[in-house]
């Protein structure tokens, strides 16, 4: 009886080996007339395309605020709050909507200096910093808004930076996408011609886009001075809206 079971197990092992040997190598299996290529992503012509469209910014984003320092923390906070109220009023009077003003940073910290006699840091005051971003939708008025803020906040005003962006970049992205696909198609055609093969239809397409954030300029003049007679000059420049695609083309027979 034991010999019979051993014979049956031997037959099963032989059939298993034969089944494994019948499978095709290099990631391809066959069942009847159906063939499955497990390495299909490595076939065809793969190319990357880029489309870039210049855009004129139509929104200015200002980073500004108040910084007050006094020997008493309550006094510093009171001065900062009063100055910030004036700045907020100036922004709204200049046409900046309340929804476009956002507090981004608030901090109260001790100001210290090193005492050589005591060999320790001693507190000499308290500094209160309150920073907001303001979105100026009429970008040509950005200079006037800056002037109004400086006048309102006086010596406590801090203008940290100015940035520019596009409020609705959809049209630019559509143009950039068309350029990216055309760029990829031209590269694929050139590769196919060079290799002496016929270019087929796309079998895979992916897209990535570069959403430009505000391009900030931090070389603003230090605030806390009298408002100059002429409006602060502002130049918006250009932004680049970029779309990248990756496309796989089949090689036609």
**Shared domain check, 29 and 127:** no
Examine the domain organization and report whether 108 and 194 are in the same domain.
no
Distance CA 2, CA 19 (A): 26
Give me 177's structure tokens. 């996408």
State residue 156's pLDDT score: 97
Q: At what angle do helices 142-153 and 73-93 cross, to 10 degrees?
A: 150
Q: What is the pTM of this model?
A: 0.66
Tell me what pLDDT residue 233 has.
Answer: 83
Residues 79 and 203 in one domain: no
18 and 134 fall within a common domain: no
pLDDT at 159 over 90: yes
Compute the average pLDDT of residues 141-163.
Answer: 95
* Per-residue pLDDT at 24 exceeds 70: no
CA distance 180 to 84: 47
pLDDT of residue 174: 96
Between the ranges 41-45, 119-123, 232-236, where is the mean pLDDT highest? 119-123
pLDDT above 90 (res 234): no
Q: Which residues of 195-216 are buried (b: 16+ CB within 10 A; e: fewer)?
A: eeeebbebeeeeeebeebebbe
Percent of the chain with pLDDT over 90: 66
Which H/E stretch holds residue 16? Answer: helix 2-22
88: helix, coil or strand?
helix
Q: Which domain holds residue 16?
A: 2-40
- Any idea what DSSP says for residue 96? -
Q: How confident is the model at residue 17 (pLDDT cuts 50, 70, 90)?
A: very low
Which position has the token pair 């239809």? 201
| pLDDT reading at 208 higher than 70 | yes
pLDDT value at residue 23: 46
Same-domain status, 23 and 73: no
Strands 215-217 and 157-165: antiparallel
Q: Is 157 a residue whose pLDDT tops 60?
A: yes
Q: Which of 14-23, 177-186, 197-206, 227-236 has the lowest mean pLDDT?
A: 14-23
Contact 250, 203 (CB under 8 A): yes
Spatial neighbors of 108 by CB under 8 A, at least 6 apart, are: 73, 76, 77, 126, 127, 128, 129
**What domain count does the chain have?**
3
Task: Evaluate if residue 222 carries a pLDDT over 80.
Answer: no
CATH number at residue 185: 3.30.110.170
What is the mean predicted confidence (pLDDT) over 13-42?
Answer: 47
């Amino acid at each position: 009886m034991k010999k019979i079971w051993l014979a049956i197990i031997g037959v099963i092992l032989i059939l298993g080996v034969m089944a494994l040997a019948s499978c095709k190598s290099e990631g391809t299996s066959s069942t009847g007339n159906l063939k499955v290529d497990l390495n299909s992503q490595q076939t065809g012509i793969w190319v990357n395309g880029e489309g870039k469209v210049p855009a004129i910014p139509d929104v200015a984003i200002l980073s500004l605020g108040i910084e007050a320092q006094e020997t008493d923390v309550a006094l510093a906070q009171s001065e900062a709050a009063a100055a910030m109220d004036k700045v907020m009023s100036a922004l709204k009077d200049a046409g900046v909507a309340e929804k476009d003003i956002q507090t981004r940073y608030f901090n109260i910290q001790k100001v210290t200096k090193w005492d050589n006699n005591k060999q320790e840091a001693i507190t000499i005051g308290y500094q209160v910093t309150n920073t907001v971003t303001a979105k100026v939708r009429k970008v040509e008025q950005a200079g006037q808004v800056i002037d109004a803020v400086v006048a309102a906040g006086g010596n406590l005003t801090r203008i940290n930076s100015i940035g520019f962006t596009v409020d609705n970049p959809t049209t630019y992205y559509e143009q950039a996408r068309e350029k990216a696909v055309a760029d990829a198609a031209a590269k694929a055609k050139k590769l196919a011609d060079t290799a002496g093969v016929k270019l087929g239809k796309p079998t895979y397409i992916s897209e990535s886009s570069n959403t430009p954030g505000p391009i900030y300029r931090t070389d603003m003049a230090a605030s806390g001075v009298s408002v100059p007679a002429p409006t602060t000059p502002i130049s918006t420049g250009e932004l680049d809206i970029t779309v990248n695609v990756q496309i796989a083309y089949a090689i036609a027979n």
